[in-house]
Homo-oligomer: A and B are copies of this chain.
Amino acid sequence: MSEKKRATPLLDELKKGPWPSFVREIEKSAETNAMARDTLGQVERSYEDKISHWKHGGLVGVMGYGGGIIGRYSDLPEEYPEVAAFHTYRVNQPSGWFYTSDILRTLCDIWERHGSGLTNMHGSTGDIIFLGSKTEELEPCFRDLTEHGFDLGGSGSDVRTPSACVGPARCEWACYDTLDACNDITHTYQDELHRPAFPYKFKFKFSGCPNDCVASIARSDMSVIGVWKDNIQIDQEKVREYAANGTDIEHEVCQMCPTQCMAWDGTKLTIDNANCVKCMHCINVMPKALRPGKERGATILIGAKAPIIGGALLATVFVPFLEMKPPYDDIKELAEAIWDFWGEYGKNRERVGEFIQRVGLGNFLEEIGLDPIPEMVAHPRTNPYIFFEDELEEEEDA
C-alpha cells in the first residue's frame, strides 16, 4: 500500500474555484483508502504527461456474467501499485435514481469494503459506477451487492442498463409510468443484460413526455417517449393569469409553436389540436394553464447512437402511439422481433440503427412484421431507385 500522500500541484489547481471539485472527492477517500491515493498520483502524472495512463481491460468479470465490469490496468503499475488493476462496476440503479439515506449507506459500506471508495453518481448510461476495484475483489463485491439487493448493469454487446426519467413520481407531464416500465423491462431481460449475445449493445431509455429528460431519442436503441392523442387540456382562467403576470402569449407561445396551430385573442387561447405535434412547448411555458391530453401512451423510436462508427443517429419513429400498460407486451414483442432479425443478420459491432440503414427501413419493417406508415419518414423518397421486388416475385410465382 502506498502510504504517503504524494504532491499533486497540478491537481491542486483544480481545488480552487466555486464548483465542487472532483480532486477534493478523491482526496476525501484518499484519507483512508490507498487506491484513491494512487488514483490521485496517477491522475497527477497524466496531467504532467498530458496522456492517459490506463491500458485496455481484457476479460475480467464475475462468474457467469459477460458484462457489468469494465476492466482497467495502469501502464505505470510499479509507481502506482494500488491501481495496477482498477476495474469499474456498473451497478444497476433503481428506476429514476431514487434512494433513501439507508440504502445509500448500504452501498457506501459495500464499496468501502471492496474498492476505492470512489463512485460516479451516475454513469452516462445511468448506472451507479463503483470506480476502481482490484481483480480479486470482483466476486466478493458482487456477492455483497446481490445480498443487499443490487445487481450489475450491462456492458459489452448486451442489453444495457435501462433508465427512466422521474416520471409520475414527480412530474405532472408523465404520459405513462416510466419508472415501472423501466423496472419491468430491466427485470424481464436479466439474461440479455448479463450475457452478451447481440451484435452490439442495445439501450432502452424511458421518457415520460417529448421533453425527453433522459435524452432517449439521441442515446438509446429503443426510445420510449410518452405522448397523448387527444386535446391539450386548457384552463383559460390560468392562461389569462400568465398573460397578466407578463407572459407574452402571442410571441412566447403562439409564434414559437412549430405548426403555428395556436391563436390568442387576448382572452382566449385556441389550439387546432389536429395540427398540434405534441412538442410540449406551450405546456412548458404555462404549466399551470395547460396539460397534456387524457388519452396517453408512448411513441416508440428505434436506433439512436453516438457517432462511432457510421455517424451519429437520432432514433426513428416505429410506433407513433402505443398504450403503456404492464406487462408491456407490445414493447417486448417489438424488442424481441428486432433482436431476432438483428441478432441473426447484424454484423459484429453494428448497432441496430446502422443495421436498419444497411438493410433499409422498408425491408427491416417487413422482417419484423410492422406495416410501413408515413409517420415513419420525414418525407417519402426523392430518388427514383425503387426495388420493385414484389412485382418480380409475383411474376416468378405465376
Contact = CB atoms under 8 A, between A and B. Distances in A.
Interface of A: 307, 311-312, 382-385
Contact of A384 (B307, B383, B385): B307
Contacts of A312: 382-383
Contacts of A311: 382-383
7 contacts: A307-B383, A307-B384, A307-B385, A311-B382, A311-B383, A312-B382, A312-B383
A382 B310 CA distance: 12
Count the copies: 2
A356 to B, nearest CB: 18
A250 to B, nearest CB: 12
Nearest to A308: B384
**Chain A interface mostly:** loop
Contacts of A384: 307
Nearest to A382: B312
A253 to B, nearest CB: 16
A311 B311 CA distance: 20
A52 to B, nearest CB: 18
A279 to B, nearest CB: 18
A358 B236 CA distance: 57
A322 to B, nearest CB: 30
A325 to B, nearest CB: 38
Contacts of A382: 311-312
Contacts of A383: 307, 311-312
A312 B382 CA distance: 8
A307 B385 CA distance: 9
A385 B312 CA distance: 11
A384 B311 CA distance: 8
Nearest to A260: B255
A258 to B, nearest CB: 14
A289 to B, nearest CB: 25
Nearest to A255: B260
A31 to B, nearest CB: 39
A21 B384 CA distance: 29
A382 B306 CA distance: 11
Nearest to A306: B384
A382 B218 CA distance: 13
Nearest to A310: B383
Contacts of A385: 307
A39 to B, nearest CB: 29
A315 to B, nearest CB: 16
A384 B307 CA distance: 8
A64 to B, nearest CB: 37
Please name the 5 residue pairs, one residue from A and one from B, whose CB atoms are nearest each other, closest first: A311-B383, A307-B383, A307-B384, A312-B383, A312-B382
A248 to B, nearest CB: 15
